[in-house]
């Protein structure tokens, strides 16, 4: 047996998932990261970074419920920081999910309710933060 139709002991039912897609396995995904560092005087540097993450449609529900696909999404994050060249301190402005992409990290049905109810964990909305760090 290839394990595509596993039934727990003393449980009825099962689901044949042979030749189906895997959970959390989009057909396409890609990531791009770029960083640029510019010296500012003799003791500081300006560090900017951008990352773009793309994920094609995928399922997170173990039973591949057709009502729970995750839409394709592109998440863009950026950071710009002023830092000492000895890495003793840094002040940064950070932006996450800058396009405010509305998607879910995880979705599933509520099988015990028999009511076609679903729940999920949404992707964090756009956020902007200021970060300060000092090493001593």
Checking if the pLDDT of 11 tops 80, the result is no
Assessment of whether the complete model's pTM goes beyond 0.95: no
Distance (Å, whole) CA 95 – CA 78? 5
The answer to whether the beta carbons of residues 63 and 82 sit under 8 Å apart is: no
Beta-bridge partner residues of 132: 91
pLDDT of residue 28: 94
pLDDT of residue 13: 60
pLDDT of residue 14: 64
pLDDT tens track for 51-101:
999 999 998 888 888 888 888 999 999 999 999 999 899 999 999 999 999
CA distances from 113 to 61, 67, 110, 117 (A): 16, 16, 6, 7
């Amino acid at each position: 047996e290839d394990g595509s139709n596993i039934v727990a002991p003393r449980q009825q039912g099962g689901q044949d998932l042979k030749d189906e897609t895997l959970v959390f396995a989009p057909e396409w995904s890609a990531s791009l990261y770029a960083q640029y560092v510019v010296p500012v005087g003799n003791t500081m540097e300006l560090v900017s970074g951008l990352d773009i993450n793309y994920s094609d449609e995928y399922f997170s529900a173990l039973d591949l419920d057709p009502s729970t696909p995750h839409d394709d999404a592109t998440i863009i994050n950026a950071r710009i920081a002023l830092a000492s060249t000895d890495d003793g301190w840094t002040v940064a402005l950070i932006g996450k999910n800058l396009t405010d992409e509305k998607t879910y990290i995880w979705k599933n049905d509520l099988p015990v309710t028999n009511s076609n109810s679903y729940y999920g964990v949404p992707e964090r909305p756009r956020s902007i933060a200021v970060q300060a760090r000092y090493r001593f």
